[in-house]
A and B are shown apart, each in its own frame.
Chain A
Amino acid sequence: MVEIRMRVNGVSESLDVPPWVSLLDVLREHLGLTGTKRGCDQGACGACTVLVDGERINACLALAVQYTGRDITTIEGVAGGGDPHPLQTAFIRDDGFQCGYCTSGQICSAIGMLAEHGAGSASAVTEHVAATGIALSGAEIRERMSGNLCRCGAYNGIVRAIQDVAESPR
């Protein structure tokens, strides 16, 4: 057993788990935060996406011990001060889901993606890698969100929701 301490959605957590336990299992099985989903346990679907210090990762591929001292945000923690996150609202308005099982991962991933884009990182479809102020076109969003599968095929709604939020003034 190893002791892990981390902040999850702003709350300090401390627990003893075997060293092989994944961050996903810590969230779902130990902390009861079942909003983060398990779709494959293999890093292939993105349903388990959470934010670590603002960066998106697949929690199923992360050993919990490696995240000691880090700040984890799950879908349960993305809303600020009682108001839903703009992406949560946009997903409902633009019908960015059907069954809802990939949705937590899509929203967390989109938050991380927008931050990456804001920090100027390029993607495989960016024309000039060195460009600054890359426009967040539909193609850019689709490329950057391709780690999050939606078998219900709600992709159009998801992209629209992200675009709406990216374009709306902060």
Chain B
Amino acid sequence: MTMTERPPRTAPAGPSVGRPIDRVDGPAKTTGAARYSAEYPYPDLTHAALTHATIARGRITGIDTAEADAVPGVLAVITHRNAPAMRPAPSFSMLDLSTFASGTSVNYLGTDEVHWNGQPMAVVVAETRDAALRAAALVRLSYEELPATVDFAGAEKDARPQKNSALQSGGATKGDAEAALAAAPVSVDLRFTTPPHHHNAIEPHSTTAAWDGDRLTVHDGTQNISWLRRHLALRFGVRAQNIRVIAPYVGGAFGGKTMVWAGTLLTVLAARVTGRPVRMMLTREGVYRTVGGRTPSTQRVALGAGRNGRLTALIHTSVTQVGRVGGGPEQVTSQSRHLYDVPNILLQQNLTELDALSNTVMRAPGESIGTFALETAVDELAGELGLDPIEFRMRNEPERNPIDGKRFAHRMLREAYALGAERFGWADRTPRPGSMRDGRWLVGMGVASAYHPSWQFAANVTVRLSADGRVLVRCGFHEMGMGGATAQAQIAADALGVPFEAVRVEYGDSTLPTGPGAGGSGQTASVAASLLTACDKLKGSVLALAGRSRESPLRGRRSSTLEARDGGLWTGPAGESYATILARAGRDSVEAAVGSDTRLGAMTGQLRFMSKFMLDRRRWVKAACGAQFCEVRVDPVTGEVRVSRWTGVFDVGTVINAKTAASQLRGGIVMGIGMALTEETLVDPRSGRIMNPGLAEYHVPVHADIPPLDVHYLDEPDPTMPLGLIGVGEVGITGAAAAIANAVHHATGRRVRDLPITLDKLL
């Protein structure tokens, strides 16, 4: 067992927390009643569609809209020649994180410049969606083309080291890794490549926008309501208070709906031009052309070890791409700071700039592809050493954070491997590659570690307790499928000692207290932290109300001695119900708030949160981790790989809802299976145009690709997190591709270091 400080459970799972409660939005989602962003009726609604550039870089020299204008029902063809000015994208400021939300720096339709192949150059507004789409295809653009850098493989050599910032560092060193590698008796030095990936949420990005004077209502499936609202305020020159963003249901996102992309901005612009409500649901191709995806990468992982199986050198470097118009580093080497106890470490991330659309966050940016390279290399070195890959990992399991000696807030990777090996039946594996068969199928088993840092953000929350015992939690957080409202209702129910059914949660609307963004697997913990504080405040207020009356058995009690249960407050057998206290005090309800949404309140709240967060990060290394086990079957004739079994054991702290947490972990693994075997965005190296912008040619896993996934979590709280919980949204994808690559090697003896592992690579 790793040495970490682990005080006993601070908050035992209550009657609601931890239970596999059905999602509260289940009835809405299974009956078609849940309304997504393109599904709100508006009288007089119009529809918009985009015309995309077909060159990577240059200028527009001519626009012929005659044919488009002639399509019946067309109301406007908006181009840079007639579009009203939109303000430029803001530059980044730590004081206002919404400045981070620009998908690109391009001022759409404010310029004749083309910056990537697919940039929207015109918006058509029409009475119907099909008229808008047809007309958009008839807008003729002519260009003056300029030389462009569009081929990642060709641009790799121009990569420059990533600079360090307050939130991310581009490199780290400890000892002399190159020298240690050269001196190591056993070593590997490997190159990996991963292709670009796209989120492919099944709901294409959709926006419905309606102006009323200088007031704006926007339905948009965003992962960050407050960023979107403030971003729109900046771009359209209106006060944020005049903008309402409504997004209770988001049809999948995975990072793709974090930034503000062209579709959203141009829908709002089109609504301003036409003076009517406008709806734009991007075509599937339009999503690929205007919303960024995961960067491609090349990675070098070099490992050296002594014959005793102890690592002596770890080198992990990467090259990833950014667009000249935006995008940022993805922390490809992040897990390599934390996973192995190595005296000599060298990490460096490098960036190369392309005339391409910005890359953007996609489920576990960095660690998803970084764990593929690191964990495949570890498996290779274990093979060289003749060691079982789990045994090799356990020999190198650190007690403190390898790169800087900080303490782990919590780490149970050993336990995850032990339990996983047992559940999966690892002992049945015969080590020699190609030694296991089932009929004609070659069978392979592989493992890899999962790792994802945990994040937290500021969240404003209010809680109201009514005299009838009902509780209303309000927070503008996001629901893309995590089951946020269900989890927060469970937390509030236990914190206040009321039944789960008594709690209602409002979310997904900018009129609510500002919630955290849905990213970095941090939303549940962020809301939970504020919600718990709000519930404590609320109980304090109720106690104060009770204390005013001589009749109350709670008079004179301190809040620290109280227990909330059975719909009231108690000290031992003495206590009374909320209803009694409120009725006696003549109150309909009591409310408590955490955080403020005034300008000053928001700013100080953000600063206070950031300083606490940074301090906390200086003390602790916090993360979710896990052990991924998979079994594959490979057809020796066709090279077809089928994933036949899976076990994932995760250390994600306290689990709030056993059902939804397991689903999220499975969802991550499913995306990891896609990443390993089928997913690849193909970019034409001459033109920079994405060649497979659709679900028929970009292959996400289907039912037939996914066996039953055995998912287990250790359910031990992280003592430094609210309720001990760590986010579960991203850790599932990490390590998954490596586990598959390692299993494929075990089945066939073939190492594939270039994703995806398609049939041709095994023949």
Contacts and interface: CB of A to CB of B under 8 A. Distances in A.
Interface of A: 18, 20-21, 25, 28-29, 32-45, 47, 74-76, 79, 84, 88, 91-93, 95, 97-104, 107, 138, 141-143, 145-159
Interface stretch (B80-88, B407-415, B531-539, B697-705): B697-705
Contact of A74 (B32, B34, B483, B703): B32
B695 A42 contact: yes
A84 B669 CA distance: 31
B694 A35 contact: no
A149 B252 CA distance: 12
A152 B664 CA distance: 8
Given A76-B31, A99-B251, A101-B201, A92 B23 contact: yes
Given A41-B283, A153-B669, A156-B709, A101 B203 contact: yes
User: Which of the listed residues A29, A142, A150, A153 has the most CB atoms from chain B within 10 Å of its own CB?
Assistant: A153
Contact of A155 (B128, B660, B706): B706
Given A99-B201, A155-B703, A92 B22 contact: yes
5 contacts: A37-B251, A75-B30, A97-B481, A155-B701, A155-B703
B663 A100 contact: no
Contacts of B130: 18, 20-21, 25
A153 B41 contact: no
Interface in B240-276: 249-254
B30 A39 contact: no
Given A25-B130, A76-B31, A99-B250, A150 B202 contact: yes
Given A37-B202, A42-B696, A75 B31 contact: yes
Contacts of A88: 27, 30-31
Given A98-B252, A153-B666, 6 more contacts: A34-B38, A91-B26, A99-B481, A142-B703, A149-B202, A153-B669
User: Which of the listed residues A40, A91, A158 has the most CB atoms from chain B within 10 Å of its own CB?
Assistant: A40
A42 B252 contact: no
A47 B29 CA distance: 13
B202 A39 contact: yes
Nearest to A77: B32
A40 B660 contact: no
Contacts of B38: 34, 38
Contacts of B23: 92, 95
B704 A143 contact: yes
Interface of B: 22-23, 25-36, 38-39, 41, 128-130, 199-204, 249-254, 281, 283-284, 479-483, 659-660, 662-664, 666-671, 694-696, 700-704, 706, 708-709
Contact of B667 (A33, A92, A101, A152): A152
Given A142-B706, A155-B670, A155-B703, A97 B203 contact: no
Contacts of B709: 156
Given A38-B204, A47-B202, A152 B30 contact: no
B662 to A, nearest CB: 8
Contacts, number: 176
A29 B667 contact: no
A104 B706 CA distance: 20
Nearest to B670: A153
B73 to A, nearest CB: 10
A144 to B, nearest CB: 8
Contacts of A76: 31-32
Nearest to A123: B704
Nearest to B702: A146
Contact of A103 (B29, B281, B283, B663): B29
A120 B39 CA distance: 38
Given A92-B27, A95-B663, A155-B670, A36 B202 contact: no
Contacts of A38: 38, 204, 281
A34 B32 contact: yes
Contacts of A21: 130
Contacts of A143: 703-704
B32 to A, nearest CB: 2
A88 B659 CA distance: 17
A152 B703 contact: no
A151 B32 contact: no
B249 A99 contact: yes
Given A146-B702, A152-B667, A156-B706, A97 B695 contact: no
A28 B206 CA distance: 14
Contacts of A42: 284, 694-696
Contact of B31 (A37, A79, A159): A79
Contact of A149 (B25, B28, B129, B700): B700
Contacts of B251: 37, 99-101
A75 B32 contact: yes
B590 to A, nearest CB: 33
Contact of B252 (A32, A95, A101, A141): A101
B41 A92 contact: no
A45 B31 contact: no
A157 to B, nearest CB: 6
A92 B659 CA distance: 10
B32 A159 contact: no
A151 B700 contact: yes
A150 B709 CA distance: 15
Contacts of A145: 703
A151 to B, nearest CB: 5
A95 B659 CA distance: 7
